[in-house]
Structure 1
Amino acid sequence: MATEILPATIRRLEESLINRIAAGEIIHRPASALKELLENALDAGATSIKVTVKDGGLKLLQIQDNGSGIRKADLPILCERFTTSKLSTFQDISSLTTYGFRGEALASISHVAHLSVVTKTRSESCAWRACYADGVLTPPKPGQTADPKPCAGNDGTLLTVEDLFYNTPTRLAALRSGADEYKRILDVVTHYAVHNSSISFQCKKVHFILVGQAQADVTTPGGSSVVQTVGLLYGNTLSKDLITVTVDKTKVTESLWRADALISNANHQSKKLVLLLFINNRLVDSSRVRRAVEGVYAGILPKGASPFVYLSLLLDPKDVDPNVHPTKKEVHFLNEEAIIECISDHMQSALVKQSSSRTFETQTLLTGGAVDTSASKRPTKRRKLDDEPEEEATQDGTKKVYSQYKVRTSLQDRTLDSWMPVVQSDPSKEDAVPLSRIKEIKETACRLTSISELRAEVLENRHTALCEILENHTFVGIADYPRCLSLLQHEVKLYLVNHAALAEEFFYQIALRQFGNFHRIKLEPAPPLRELIKLAVAADETFPNSTMDLETSTTAIYEILMARSEMLDEYFAVKLDEDGFVREIPLLLRDYKPNLDKLPLFLMRLGPQVDWLSEKGCFETTLRELAFFYTPDMPAFLFPKQTSDEGKQEMTIAEKASRWQIQHIFFPAMRKYLVPPKALLERDVVQVANLPDLYRVFERC
C-alpha cells in the first residue's frame, strides 16, 4: 500500500537567509562585486579610481574614488536593501541615466563579506568610517559602538571588502584560482577605463609579502581619447588598426539614437572576439550584437581569427529596460533588431571602404596560385598533361619518364646569387652548411603547464603538405632582399616565400624549444637600457600622437623591465644589471647573429607588447617579440638614408652578411626544425611556377 505524502508546511524564511540568497544573485564573484562598486564611483562623479586586490579579490577588494562622497546622515542605512538615491517612484526608471538604481549592491556585499567604508564629502571637515555586516552597522572592534567614527580621509569614498564569501563555502569552492579571478577583475577595469577615457583608473595586486608595494597592472592617465586608451591598454599595434564608425541620430525608429564604435580592420587578428559593449554607458553583454559582429567579419578574417570591437550605444532612456537581470548584465530595448542591423551595415561599409583604400605588396602568379594542399606526400604521382601518361615502358623494360616530370635539383647548381656579382657572398663561405653539421637543438624539460600548452599548440597547427615542401626544398635564391622574398624549389614546382615570416615562426618555435636554457650573447660594452628604449620610443611613428612625453614613456617602459629583470634573466636570458645596463641577450641559433640595430626596438616592445597579466600570455608574447628581434629584416626607421659612397658600401657589406646567414644558416636549420602552421599559406608561401604547366604553355606556342 502506497505511503500517503502529507503536505509540507509553508514557513516564512528568516530575514538573514533571504538577504544571503538575494546576495548570491547579485554578487557572483569578485569581478561582479567590483563592477557594482565601480559603477557607484562613476555615479558619484569620480575622476580618479584606484582598485587594490589581494588573492583575486577574495581576501581584499578595495576601491577608492574622489567623488562626491556619502553624507554621515546616510551611513546608517547605506547597506540596507532597496536604499538608493537614484529613484523615488517607479516612473523614474523610464528616465534613468545612472548605473545603479535598486540599492542592492552594497547590501548584497555586506551579507557575504566584511565591508567597511571611509567617506568624506567636500563640505565636511573630516571623514567618517563605518563597518557593516548583514546590512547593518557593526562595531569595528569588540567593545566599541557601531556608530560611524570620525577619521582622516580625502574627499570621496574608500570601500574595503574583505573575506568575500566567507559565510558561503559552496560559492567559495566553486570559484577558480586567485590568478583567474584577478584576470576577470582586470577585464572589468579595462573595459570601464576604455569607455571612460577621461577618468584615471588604476588597478594593482597586493602580494602577501610586499603589501603596499605592488605595481599597477592597469593604469590610465585620464583626459585621453578612447583610441589612445585602447592603445595604452591593448597595445599601439591595435590602435593603429582601428576604424571609427559613427551612426549619428539615424531614424530607424521614431526615437533617435546614436552609436559610436571602434572596430579593428582586416590586419588585426586575435584568437578570441574582444567585444566592449556599452548601452547608455552601462557595460552589458548581448548575444545578438555578438552574432552580428561575427557575421560582419565572417567574410573578412580567416577562419579562427576574431576582431576587436568597442561599441557605445546611446538610446532614449524610455526605450530601455535595465531591470531584466539581477546584475544588470543584460538590458532590453525597443527595435533591437533594426538598430543592430543598421549598425552592422555601417560597420560592413567602413570595413569595405578601408580595405579598398589599402595598398598591398603582392607577387603576380605566373601559372599556379596558392600552395596546392589538396593532398600531402605524393612524390611519384603527379598531375598529367591532358591524357598523356607520366611514364611508359620502353623496349628494355625500363620506365621512361617524360621531361616535364623530371625533378632537376643539385646542390652543385648555381643559385641566383651567383649571377649577381654585386651581392655575391663571401668566397670563403661559399658552401652551404650541411644539415648534419647543424648543432642539435634539444628541447628543454619544463614542468610549466603554460609552456607545455604552447608546445602542444605548435604541433596541433602543423600543416603536413607545407611541412613536406620545407623539409625537402632546394634553395634557389633571394629574389627580393628588401621585401624578404626568396625562391624555393620542391619537386617540379617553384615557390616564392616570405623568409621573414618563416623566420619569425621558426625563431619562436626554437625559442619555445629552448625555454629557460638559452645560450647567451654578452654585450661588451654593455649599453644603457634607458637610452636604448628612448631611442626606439623617439623613432616610433605613433609617438607624436601619444599623450605622454618622451621621458615619461621611456621611464614607464624602463620601470616595467627593471621590475621583471629576474624573470627575464631566468627564463629568457635577457640580463639587466642593477645599474640599468643590458649585459646579455639570448642566442637562439648557433652561428646566427641577430641584427643588434634592432635591439632598441626589441627592448621597447617588451613593455607594451607583452601580456604581463597571465603566465601563458606573458611567455608567448615575450617569445614572439624575441623571434621578431631575430627575424632577418632591416629596421628602416633606425637607418638614416645613406647618400655617400662610403655609406652605400657599408650597407652593401651588411646586406652581404645577412644574405649569407639567410641562405647558409637559416634555411638549413629551418628545414630541420620548423613545424609550419597553416597560417603561412595565406600570404607567405605562393606557388609561382609548375614545370608540367610550363611545358603545356610551350607546346601551344
Structure 2
Amino acid sequence: MLLSVVVRMVNRIAAGEIIVAPANALKELLENSFDAGASRVEVVVKDGGLKLLQITDDGHGIHKDDLPLLCQRFATSKIEKYEDLESIDTYGFRGEALASISHVSRLSVVTRTADSDCAWRATYSDGELKEVKPTAGNRGTQIIVEDLFYNVPSRLRAVKGGSDELSKIVDVAGRYAIHSNVGIGVKKFGESHFALSTRPGLSVKERIRAVYGNSIAGELIPIDIDGIEDYGVVKSAGQITNPNYNNKKAIAPVFFINNRLVSNDVLRRALNSTISHFIPKGHRSFIYLSLLIKPQNLDVNVHPTKREVRFLHEDEIVEKICIRVTEELSKIDSSRSFPTQTLLPHNIRKRKVNEEEEEESKAPLAPSLQKKRLDYKLVRTDASQSRITSFIKAVESSQYTETPTEAPTRIFDSQLSDAEDDKSEATTVTNTTVIPSQAQTQAQAQHQHNYTKIDKPQVEVNLQSILNLREEVQLSSNRQLTEMFANLTYIGIVDSDRRLCAFQYNVKLMLVDYGSLLTEFFYQVALQEFSNFGIVRLETPVSLKHLLSHIYESEVETTLNVEDILDMIVDMREMLDEYFSIGIDVSNPDDPQLTTLPLMLKGYIPSLSKLPMFVYRMGAKVDWNDEEQCLDGILRQIAMLYTPEYISEGTPEMDEMQKQVLAQQRYDLNLTMENIIMPSVKRRFLAPHKLKKDVIEIANLPGLYRVFERC
C-alpha cells in the first residue's frame, strides 16, 4: 500500500541533499551575504561548525515583514517564473538554503535594515517562525546555526567534525575571498586570532597571497582569454602559477562561473593535461579561473548544492582556454629558475675541507638551531648492543641432571650444517636420559653438546614448490613489523603458561605471543635451510612405535592407527632424510627407529617431550598426495617441534621440588630466548601480516611521562 510521506520528513530529506556538511551550509550563507551587498563577512566556528556556525555580514538586512517566509522552502525574491532562470545573476534563486538549514539545526537570525530603529531576533524550527523579538544590533544580518544535524544521527556520525571540518570551512571561505573581493574572516569560537582574514579592495594577486601564501602568489601569471565572445563568454580572467613553482601537493582548482563556485571535471582535466607539459612530473599547479557567461547559455539548476553547472559550447570554450594557457606558459618556459647550492671550488685541498668541517662540528649551534633533547622521546637502549648476560656461561644445577625413567630414550650426539656457520662444523652431545612426557629444558640441552666439524656440501634448491613457498613468505611480509622485530630489545618472558614475552621497540613497550612468533620464525628457517639442515643424531635411536604409544595412551583424539602412520613415514623415509634430515632406520622392519632430526639453530635443541606429537602429526596432519602441500606441512610440523612448550606457572598443590623444577625451566627458557632465539629473530625474520594480531603495545614513554611526569 502506498502512503504519502509526511511533509516534515520530505523537508528533512531535501535538506540532507543540500546541506551535506558544515562547509555546505557556510557556502549557502556566504552567497546570501554577497547577494545582500555585504563588504565584510565574519564567520565563527565551534567544533567544526557542528556546535556553532555563526555568519555576520554588513549587508542591507532583512525586513521584519519578510521574516515569517524567510525559512520556508521556495520562498525567494530572486525569481518569479521559470523563465527568470535564463537571466539569473544572483547566487541564490531557489529559496532552499535557509529552509534546509532550519530543518537540521537550531536556527536563529538577527537582522536590521538601514531604515529600522532596532534589530530583530527570530528563531526557526523546521522552516517555521517560532518567535520574533526586538534586540540591539548593527545594520546587516547575523545567522546563528547551532547543533547542526542534531536530528539526523546518521549524518552526524558521518561528519568528522573538529579540525577536519574547520579546514573545509576555511577552504570554502578562502575561495570566495579570492573571487568576491569581500573581506572575509574565519576564526574558532573563543579565539582572538583568525584562521583566515582578508580585506576588501585588494587585488586578485594580493587576495591569493592572503589565502594561499607567498609561495603561490610570487609565481602567478595572469590569464586573459580572448576570442571566446562568440561562444557566449562575456568576460574571463584567471591566474595560474608559472613553471618555476615547485609543489607536489595537489591544490583543487578554483573555478567560478557567473560568480558561482563550481567544479568542472572537463575543464580541470584539460588544464592539468596542458600544464603538465611545462612542469616536472609529479608537480602540481595552482589555477584560478573566472568566467562570465550569458545567463541564457547557462543552466545553474543541475545539482542540489549548485556545485555543478552546464553551459553551451563547453568543448570550444575549454579548448580556447587551454590554447591561451599554453601560449602564456610557453613565453616563460624559455627560462627557468632553480634553487641552487653553493659548492666549494675544486682546487681547495681535501685536508683543508676536513679541517673546516671539523671546526664547524665543534662549534655550537645557534640557540635557535639547537635541537632540544626531549626526555620522553629518548631511547635509552641500543637494540644492536649485546647484553652483559650473553657473556656469562650458565652453570647447570646438578639436581636437575638426572631423571628417573622406566623406558629411557638416549639423546643425542649432533652434527650440524647451519647456513650461518661453517659447513664443516658439527656437534657431539653428552648422554643423559629423558621421559618423553616430561620437558627437557632448552638451556640444559644447550650445555650438553660440543661442536665438531664435518664436510657437507651446500645443495642448491630449484624445486618449484619450495620456490613458491619462499615467494609467499616474501609477499606476505609486513615491512613495519619486520623492522620492529629487527630492532627489538628483548626484555623477558612475562607469562610462560600463555607464552607471552615483552620487548622494547624505540620508546614503546610491546607484548608478543612468542608461540605464534616462533612458529612462523622456525617455519621460515626450515624453508630457508631446506635440503641443507644441520643434523641432530640421536645417540640411541628412538622407536617410532614407542613414541606413538604415548599418543594413543593419552586423551588426544586420533584419526589414524599406528600402522597407517608408520607405513606412511617409512614409505617416505628417503625424502624425509634428503630434504629434512629426518633419519628413519628400517633395519628392523617391525620396529622402525628415529635416528636423526634437523638442527635449526646452533645451540638450541627442542624439547624431546614433543617428539610423540611430532611423529603423529607427521603421519596424520600432512597431505602426502600434493607435493607443495606435503612439503609445506612437514616444514610446519618441524617449526611446531622447535617452538618452545607451555611451561606451567604452578599450582598451590605442588610440592616445593616441583615448583623449583618449573622455576628452573622458566629461567632456562628465558636464557635461551635472550641469547639464542631472539638474536636470530632479529637477523632473519620476515614478519607476516597475520602476526599483527599477536603483537600489542602495552605502554610508551610519552604516555608514561604524561602520567608520572618522569621516567
Normalising to structure 2: TM-score of the pair?
A: 0.49
Structure with the larger RCO, 1 or 2 (CA within 8 Å, 6+ apart): 1
**Pair member with larger Rg:** 2
